[in-house]
């Protein structure tokens, strides 16, 4: 069976928990059992943060789904443990300043065409969605560009401050002729 491309919608707090856990395992809500059971190795995940309306990371599924009730993520229902889990490897994890704004890229996605243009965010309601490969690839490329822009601006800022001072830790010689 071919690779499936998934969008995992979650709040920023749970995303930060996944980040803190090293993006080794991802839990899916109990209400998504059927969809979660379809996850398989080499499937791809893209993380959409519902409270920020941004895309923040991509990962590759490394295991078949399994169940585990150890509490890791938080939910408004105390009994929700996100029991449907897969092992993952992160591919791209953006810093907060690099997140890709869904309001800019979302309306152009193939996945949202089922909804009226002004209601495109309705496509992202619910925690787990299968999205077209083309959308996934486009979003992942946008994330790579955001990361590259951030790196190049840091390099430029780093060089600016040195000016023509020459090498560090070299004393200038006296030029008074003695």
The C-alpha atoms of residue 156 and residue 43 are separated, in whole angstroms, by: 37
The pLDDT of residue 151: 72
Alpha helices in 32-170 (DSSP H): 33-36, 102-105, 133-160
The pLDDT of residue 163: 46
The C-alpha atoms of residue 110 and residue 80 are separated, in whole angstroms, by: 32
The pLDDT of residue 2: 64
Mean pLDDT estimate for the chain = 88
Percent of the chain exceeding pLDDT 70 equals 84
- Average pLDDT on 149-168 reads 56
The pLDDT of residue 1: 53
Question: Distance of CA 122 to CAs 44, 118, 151, Å?
Answer: 22, 9, 33
- Average pLDDT on 67-73 reads 92
pLDDT tens digits for range 100-116 = 999 999 999 999 999 99
- For residues 67 and 86, the answer to whether their CB atoms sit within 8 Å is no
pLDDT tens digits for range 48-64 = 999 999 999 999 999 99
The pLDDT of residue 153: 66
What is the residue whose two structure tokens read 């895309």? 55
Pairing of strands 54-61, 25-28: unpaired
Residue-level length of the chain: 178
Token pair recorded at residue 19: 């980040």
pLDDT tens digits for range 12-36 = 999 999 999 999 999 999 999 999 9
The C-alpha atoms of residue 29 and residue 84 are separated, in whole angstroms, by: 7
Is residue 166's pLDDT more than 70?
A: no
- Please give the model's pTM, rounded to 2 decimal places: 0.83
**CATH code linked to domain 5-153:** 3.10.590.10
Residue 1 burial (CB count, 10 A): 7
């Amino acid at each position: 069976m071919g690779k499936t491309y998934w969008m995992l919608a979650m709040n920023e707090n749970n995303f930060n928990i996944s980040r803190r856990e090293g993006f080794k395992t991802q839990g899916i809500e109990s209400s998504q059992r059927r969809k979660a059971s379809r996850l398989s190795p080499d499937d791809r995940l893209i993380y959409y943060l519902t409270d920020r309306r941004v895309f923040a990371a991509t990962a590759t599924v490394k295991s078949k789904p399994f169940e585990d009730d150890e509490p890791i993520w938080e939910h408004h229902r105390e009994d929700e443990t996100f029991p449907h889990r897969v092992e993952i490897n992160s591919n791209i994890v953006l810093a907060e300043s690099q997140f890709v704004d869904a309001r800019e890229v979302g309306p152009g996605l193939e996945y949202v065409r089922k909804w009226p243009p002004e209601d495109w965010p309705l496509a992202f309601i619910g925690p787990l969605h299968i999205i077209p490969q083309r959308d996934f690839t486009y979003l992942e490329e946008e994330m790579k560009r955001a990361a590259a822009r951030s790196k190049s601006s840091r390099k430029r800022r780093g060089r600016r401050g040195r000016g023509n001072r020459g090498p560090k830790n070299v004393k200038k010689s006296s030029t008074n002729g003695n």
